[in-house]
A and B are shown apart, each in its own frame.
Chain A
């Protein structure tokens, strides 16, 4: 955390929702990938079998950290949160892994919400757990 005094004048619109200024894309080599696959917050990714051995790209430690967390399907939001990476960084890393065939991706349907029996089960769970 930086002291308030270090906050540059032009950024004085930052509030408590905003963290320290970072060069967060440094981790991904600053690669933005227009046209690459999209990874929604609730898209799930799963590591492919023998993903590390079979990968067609050089895996950075961050790629490996993702694969280690994705033995079972895991959401993009959870990956970012557990690994402490920003969402943008995670998305670039995931795009690498998808291209390399090291993960598979399943998108959450954005136009179709869960069936009523699922909602009832959730209500029941909220009441009883």
Chain B
């Protein structure tokens, strides 16, 4: 369909890697994306589906009221030709339709957890388990500490022993980048195990 650009000056298409940052509302997703990368807002539109607006005519988008959902979007460029994209998943269940698009072709996901509200990350863990998207859990240590041992958190989450769990401070660039490294190493080891 698309014709090749005759213009030799255009750069090659970079290798794009997608990592998702998930977890409950207020757990530190936006903070993490901002700490480790150049962060930009990314808007997407959701057509409202209140009773009065439901229509069978899918092409009749005109005039329908939509709401804007803003996602965290970060990028880190490596050399000329590799770009790591981070997408913060919107916190609420009703945005699952966005998750499916985000998860498609993703390298993996970081599920952020806050030990004061552990249950908030259950839906994210369930989602990535079901989809078989590689993920790790990163416990955000608010105020530089959290009172639980990693094993206690693992148990509380009923986490598969193969899923890494790391502690982090999402405000800290180095700590945040270590989280990304832990995820990529996890993906690599899953791959090696499959060979």
Contacts and interface: CB of A to CB of B under 8 A. Distances in A.
Contacts of A93: none
B95 A81 contact: no
B17 A41 contact: no
B99 interface: no
A103 B102 CA distance: 24
Query: For the side of the interface on B, what is the size category?
Result: 35 or more
Given A18-B69, A24-B66, A119-B188, A73 B14 contact: yes
A14 B67 contact: yes
A41 B73 CA distance: 11
B82 A20 contact: no
Contacts of A22: 45, 65-68
Nearest to A42: B16
Q: Which of A10, A22, A42 has the most CB of B within 10 A?
A: A42
Interface string A63-74: 000000001110
A3 interface: no
Query: For the side of the interface on A, what is the size category?
Result: 35 or more
Interface string B129-168: 0000000000000000000000000000000000000000
A55 B13 CA distance: 23
Interface of A is mostly: mixed
Contacts of B46: 18
B68 A71 contact: no
Given A11-B48, A109-B105, A118-B82, A46 B58 contact: no
A81 B15 CA distance: 19
A120 B189 CA distance: 12
A76 B175 CA distance: 29
Contacts of B7: 48-49
A41 B188 CA distance: 24
A16 B25 contact: yes
Contacts of A77: 42, 73, 85, 87
Given A14-B67, A81-B73, 4 more contacts: A41-B85, A73-B10, A119-B187, A123-B181
Interface of A: 10-11, 13-25, 29-32, 34, 37, 40-42, 44, 46-49, 71-73, 75, 77-78, 80-82, 84-89, 98, 101, 103-106, 108-111, 113-114, 116, 118-123, 125-127, 129
6 contacts: A19-B68, A20-B67, A41-B87, A42-B105, A88-B44, A121-B78
Closest 7 CB pairs of A and B: A30-B62, A110-B105, A19-B68, A125-B78, A104-B2, A49-B7, A87-B44
